[in-house]
Homo-oligomer: A and B are copies of this chain.
Amino acid sequence: MGLDLSAIIVLAISGGLTAVRAQLDVVGVLVLATVTGLGGGVLRDVFIGASPPAAFLDGRYLLAAVVAGSATFLLHPALERAEGYINVFDAFGLGLFTAAGAVKAVDHGLAVLPAILVGVVAGVGGGIMRDTLIDRVPLILRKDELYAIPASAGATIAVVGLTVVDAVGPSVVAAASVTIVWRLLAIWRGWTAPEPVRVRTAT
């Protein structure tokens, strides 16, 4: 619960800052904060059949997103100066949500491969919805960002750890750590993913 709430707050702040930069008004800031903070968890719950989604059962999740969004609206100049820290928090949000999502998927009886996908969706789904709403190609699809591969690695570690070793704690810690470190190194070192071979290079 504490981990979930922290991840929601961090993701909501990053969604709110995106809205401020896109010159949206207070509605836009709150909508993007909520969608970014809760979207991944809602998709996760629809995909594993947990109905209604946790974000609608427990009011604290939504409260956390709305408070974080309101704070971003009011305090955004200070938050923008802290953007280096936001990237770090954002990576933590990605890592925690991905690991927790994969664990919840295994708990609900999903097979290995679908559980990994659910973990990745939990981690990146809110950001995809945010970008779709403001009409830009999601970060996850852009070449200059490495999101999905660190998340896939973390989700795989969580699912394999749970399935093979049956140790929740160590699996979550290992999974989240790998995602977080890999994501931060990708930001700091400019790592990107491989592209398809282009044709017209002699055979």
Known: A34-B117, A62-B117, A136-B135. A47 touches B57 (CB 8 A): no
Is B110 in contact with A196, judged by CB distance below 8 angstroms? no
- The A contact surface, by secondary structure, is helix
Known: A48-B56, A113-B59. A195 touches B132 (CB 8 A): no
Contact pick for A77, options B53, B62, B199, CB 8 Å: B199
Is A62 in contact with B114, judged by CB distance below 8 angstroms? yes
- How far apart sit A27 and B138, CA to CA, in the bound complex (Å)? 12
- How far apart sit A63 and B20, CA to CA, in the bound complex (Å)? 40
Closest partner residue, chain B, to A38 (CB atom): B117
Shortest distance between the CB of A30 and any CB in chain B (Å) = 8
Closest partner residue, chain B, to A47 (CB atom): B56
For this chain, the copies found in one complex come to 3
Is B58 in contact with A111, judged by CB distance below 8 angstroms? yes
- How far apart sit A111 and B66, CA to CA, in the bound complex (Å)? 15
> For this complex, into which size category does the number of interface residues on chain A fall?
35 or more
* Chain A window 56-71, contacts with chain B (Cβ cutoff 8 Å), 1 for yes, 0 for no: 1111001100100000
Is B56 in contact with A114, judged by CB distance below 8 angstroms? yes
User: Taking the complex as formed, is A193 at the interface, i.e. its CB lies under 8 A from any CB of chain B?
Assistant: yes
Known: A31-B148, A141-B31. A77 touches B25 (CB 8 A): no
Contact pick for A26, options B118, B193, B199, CB 8 Å: B193
18 A-B contacts, Cβ less than 8 Å apart? A19-B141, A25-B193, A30-B148, A31-B148, A46-B51, A49-B53, A49-B56, A55-B114, A56-B117, A57-B111, A59-B113, A62-B114, A62-B117, A63-B113, A80-B199, A132-B132, A132-B133, A134-B137
